[in-house]
């Protein structure tokens, strides 16, 4: 008998309010997953003629999923403010113990080609009283919970409350989330990497060195053949890393001197999961979870996954 998410949460040493919030997030992800699954039938594919705060063209599903997350009725008075990658400012609610930070549709460019997409979320403690932007700018070490839902062949919720990582698959018949992987653990060393090779000319020398050594295979200094994967969806590539190991990289490059991924909405929650599964998550050198945010939409370089490979990249950066 597979353990339901509700029973799993009841057994965790977490406040009841946090357990109820996680159940509400799971319900929202189930609804977003349904919208993704039926997007072609409902005419929800394609882009809108508008940009989000990131300067990116919004997909129809970006807006629909974001609106689903903004429904105050979902949160049962547990959330003081919602913070979304799709919005410039925080979205205050009446009251609550927590702040919910999220990317409603990660990898939305994949929607039109029926590729993997997901929802990423992070839970922070809220101070008492009205919420200001500064209250949200907490380093990743202060996260109380984090996770993502991945909408692929299975709809799967991957979750941590700071005591390991568990995966739950959605039973499409009953709407229940059932535990399918009790404790996800990343192998310390594997021979697989995920990176956008089209940016090779923009990478720092240390990143090019690492990837070129992987590409050299058995005849190179690593003495082993590596596989490359790239899904253009962070949740998709990270789910593979959590499942069978490897390294995921979206490094800083020479064009702007900053990374592409957002610290609050993507890097922090995923780094929390990776560390809880025994891996490492860095900006290339420093742990992502130790970074003090200075902006809601701050970007950061990301190198995460199997411990030995991430440490090698950090050593190359220091050389």
Domains in the chain, number: 2
Q: Identify whether 71 is part of a domain.
A: yes
pLDDT in the model for residue 189: 85
| Domain membership of residue 213 as a residue range | 192-318
Please check if 189 is assigned to a binding site.
Answer: no
Residues 22 and 133 in one domain: yes
What pLDDT score was predicted for residue 56? 65
pLDDT attached to residue 155: 98
Q: What is the mean pLDDT of each run of 10 residues along the chain (319 residues)?
A: 97 97 98 95 80 70 95 96 96 94 95 95 96 97 98 97 98 97 93 96 96 97 97 97 97 88 98 98 97 97 97 94
* 161 and 209 both lie in a single domain: no
The verdict on whether residue 260 carries a ligand-binding annotation is yes
Counting DSSP H helices and E strands in the chain, the numbers are: 8, 17
pTM score of the predicted model: 0.96
Same domain? For 29 and 163 the reply is yes
Identify the pLDDT of residue 61. Answer: 92
Do 177 and 196 lie in one domain? The reply is: no
What's the longest Cα–Cα distance across the chain? 62
186 part of a folded domain:
no
Give the domain-ending residue among 146, 181, 216. Answer: 181
Domain membership of residue 242 (yes or no) is: yes
- Among 181, 208, 231, the domain-final residue is 181
**51, two tokens:** 């940009």
CATH number at residue 212: 3.40.190.80
- Does 107 carry a binding-site annotation? yes
| N residues, the chain | 319
Residue 213 assigned to a binding site: no
If asked whether residues 142 and 214 sit together in one domain, one would say no
In terms of domains, do 244 and 175 share one?
Answer: no
Same domain, 63 and 206: no
* Same domain (yes/no): 167, 232: no
Provide the token pair at 102.
């999220």
152 in a known ligand binding site: no
- Answer positive or negative: Cα dihedral of 106, 107, 109, 114: negative
Q: Answer yes or no: is 118 a known binding residue.
A: no
Q: Does the residue 63 lie in any domain?
A: yes
Are residues 137 and 52 both part of a single domain? yes
Q: What pLDDT is recorded for position 53?
A: 62
Same domain, 252 and 289: yes
* 65 and 46 within one domain: yes
């Amino acid at each position: 008998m597979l353990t339901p998410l509700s029973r799993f949460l009841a057994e965790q040493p977490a406040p009841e309010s946090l357990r109820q919030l996680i159940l509400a997030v799971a319900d929202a992800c189930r609804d977003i997953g349904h919208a993704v699954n039926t997007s072609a039938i409902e005419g929800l594919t394609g882009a809108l003629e508008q940009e989000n705060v990131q300067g990116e063209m919004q997909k129809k599903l970006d807006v629909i999923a974001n609106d689903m997350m903004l429904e105050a009725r979902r949160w049962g008075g547990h959330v003081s403010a919602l913070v979304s990658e799709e919005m410039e400012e925080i979205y205050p609610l009446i009251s609550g113990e927590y702040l919910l930070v999220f990317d409603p549709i990660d990898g939305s460019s994949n929607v039109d080609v029926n590729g993997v997409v997901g929802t990423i979320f992070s839970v922070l403690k809220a101070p008492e009283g009205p919420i200001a932007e500064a209250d949200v700018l907490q380093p990743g070490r202060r996260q109380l919970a984090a996770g993502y839902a991945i909408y692929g062949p299975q709809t799967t919720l991957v979750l941590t409350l700071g005591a390991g990582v568990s995966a739950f698959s959605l039973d499409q018949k009953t709407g229940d989330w059932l535990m399918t992987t009790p404790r996800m653990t990343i192998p310390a060393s594997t021979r697989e990497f995920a990176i956008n090779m089209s940016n090779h000319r923009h990478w720092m020398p240390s990143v090019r060195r690492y990837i070129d050594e992987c590409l050299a295979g058995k005849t190179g200094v690593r003495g082993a053949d590596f596989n490359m994967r790239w899904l253009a969806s962070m949740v998709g590539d990270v789910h593979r890393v959590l499942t069978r190991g490897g390294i995921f990289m979206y490094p800083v490059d020479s064009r702007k001197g900053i990374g592409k991924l957002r610290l609050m909405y993507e890097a922090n929650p995923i780094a929390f999961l990776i560390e809880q599964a025994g891996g490492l998550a860095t900006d290339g050198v420093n742990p992502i979870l130790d970074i003090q945010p200075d902006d809601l939409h701050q970007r950061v370089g990301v190198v995460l996954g199997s411990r030995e490979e991430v440490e090698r990249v950090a050593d190359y950066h220091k050389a």
